[in-house]
Amino acid sequence: MNRLRNRVVIITGAAGGMGKSEAILFAQEGAKVLATDNQFEKLDKWVSEAQKEKLTIECITHDVTSEASWKKVTDKAIKLYGKIDILVNNAGVYPFNGSCDNTDKALWDKVIAINLTGPFLGVKAVIPYMKKNKQGVIVNVSSIAGMVGGNGAAYTASKGGLRLLTKDLAVEYAKDNIRVNSLHPGGVLTPMTEGMVKGAGMKEMIKSTSPQGRMADPIELANAALFLASPESSFMTGAELVVDGGAVAR
């Protein structure tokens, strides 16, 4: 409890999956959370329930690809809570069957816009507030697809780009006491993967690619994001935290 006491956190892509888990866990740890997503109805529904549990969570509709939308998010965080301490760039999309042959330019542009340009715009939006506070933490949710190939052209490029963007930001902002790290999940059971998991032969595929033989529960990733967001990781910046049941260790 209280590992993020009074920390103001923006978490994108929080309508479900990992983002929702992170938002609830961070609030349980004392944070004041602004949860965002472009699926606002879905987001608002669970946030209303969480507020009844006395968790400090508010929400706002958000398109991470739009600078104007980011401005509304930071304005709301400042209006609600007066500062911004932590940003979790969690929103993302995964195109199934996204091999290079199956990827037209429109799909490429969409995936890069959400998974890579979105976090870049988010960093630009929050950095002035973090500099003013003389502290900040950014967690970029990449993927093991940002480390090894085989997960589709645009997705792999976007998550690999986010991995290295993280390192550049870490170097650039260390002098401002702002830490930036990337989180690299393997397979996690979320709305993003639920359709895929039901597919024929998936159980066998998961067993053969993950040494632990299973997918993660979102809370297992939220716990890792909490570690990166909290002072417990104070000497980590520009680092990659892999949480994948051993998949890239093979």
Ligand X SMILES: NC(=O)c1ccc[n+]([C@@H]2O[C@H](COP(=O)([O-])OP(=O)(O)OC[C@H]3O[C@@H](n4cnc5c(N)ncnc54)[C@H](O)[C@@H]3O)[C@@H](O)[C@H]2O)c1
131 CB-side CA count, 13 A: 9
Q: Which residues contact 13 (CB under 8 A, 6 or more apart)?
A: 19, 36, 37, 64, 90, 91, 92, 141
- Does 245 bind ligand X (CB under 6 A)? Our answer is no
- Does 139 bind ligand X (CB under 6 A)? Our answer is no
Residue 199 beta carbon to ligand X: minimum distance, rounded to whole angstroms: 14
* Binding track over 3-42 against ligand X, x by CB under 6 A: ---------xx-xxxxx-----------------xxx---
Task: Pick one of 46, 81, 94, 129: the residue that binds ligand X (CB under 6 A).
Answer: 94
In the complex with ligand X, the residue whose CB is nearer, 6 or 109, is 109
Q: Which of residues 142-161 bind ligand X (CB under 6 A)?
A: 143
- Does 165 bind ligand X (CB under 6 A)? Our answer is no
- Does 136 bind ligand X (CB under 6 A)? Our answer is no
| Alpha helix stretches (DSSP H) within 134-242 | 153-173, 191-197, 202-209, 218-229
Beta strands in the chain (DSSP E): 8-11, 32-37, 57-61, 86-89, 136-141, 178-185, 240-243
First and final C-alpha spacing in the chain:
35
Contact between 180 and 166 under an 8 Å Cβ cutoff? The reply is yes
Task: Pick one of 141, 206, 224, 226: the residue that binds ligand X (CB under 6 A).
Answer: 141
The amino acid at residue 17 is: G
β-pairing, 8-11 vs 32-37, is: parallel
Task: Pick one of 58, 78, 80, 93: the residue that binds ligand X (CB under 6 A).
Answer: 93
- Residues with a catalytic annotation lie at 155
Residue 189 beta carbon to ligand X: minimum distance, rounded to whole angstroms: 7
Q: Which of residues 114-133 bind ligand X (CB under 6 A)?
A: 114
Residues binding ligand X (CB under 6 A): 12-13, 15-19, 37-39, 62-65, 90-94, 114, 141, 143, 185, 187-188, 190-193
